[in-house]
Amino acid sequence: MHDFGEYLPFDAVLHNGNDPMYEHNNYPALWAKVVEEALSEVDNGGDIIPFMRAATGGSPAHTRLYWMGDQLVTWDAYDGLQSAMIGLLNSGVSGFTLGHSDIGGYTSVKAVKGTVNYLRTKTLLFRWIEMSAFSDVIMRSHPSNLPDDDFQVYDDDESVLFLKKFTEIHVKLADYKMDLMKEASELGTPVTRPLLLHYPNEEAARKVND
């Protein structure tokens, strides 16, 4: 996991002498390129799958996988479960063909009593597991930033068996997803696709995110 690739300080002093504000948006691609070069120099580097959240237009040439960042442990389209799917679809048609999200979300807030709290529920975790099994190229859970307060996949037997069930479904889809990844490599088409990519003239396909 290559996190924080977007945080080039504006007051940085760069080796090439360029203005850091000018280099800021190119920095994630340069970071990805460094990782790519490092993996090319080690034994079995091709078996390692680095993934990033930060990117720019040139990043897909050097990065094998993306994740959608640190969603809230909520349901909404602004920064919750729905936003993870929206991000996956939008990034896919922007050239980032392979992606996934933290199962269950990441960002949690345990505030003072009487104020807003964002803590993961069991139901949210289950729905995220289902979404990831069918839409993502990998399944990866995350304990979140408040693991003791959020519901986890290992908290009870029902959750363990639920994760097992959908992990097995994910595995059974391997051949199908491998075909899609082959298409992504050859054609640049994303694995998880918005309907408008296949039905560009259908009005309903253009309103899926409404």
Enzyme catalytic residues: 3, 6, 70
Closest CA to 63 of 25, 28, 87: 28
Residue listed under structure tokens 């807003």: 116
Tell me the DSSP string of 128-182. Answer: HHHHHHHH-SS--B---S-TTTS--TTSSHHHHHHHHHHHHHHHHTHHHHHHHHH
For residue 91, give every residue at least 6 positions away whose Cβ sits within 8 Å of its Cβ, in sequence order, or none. Answer: 55, 66, 68, 99, 190
Helix (H) or strand (E) holding 38: helix 27-40
Q: Is 80 helix (H, G, I), strand (E, B) or coil?
A: coil
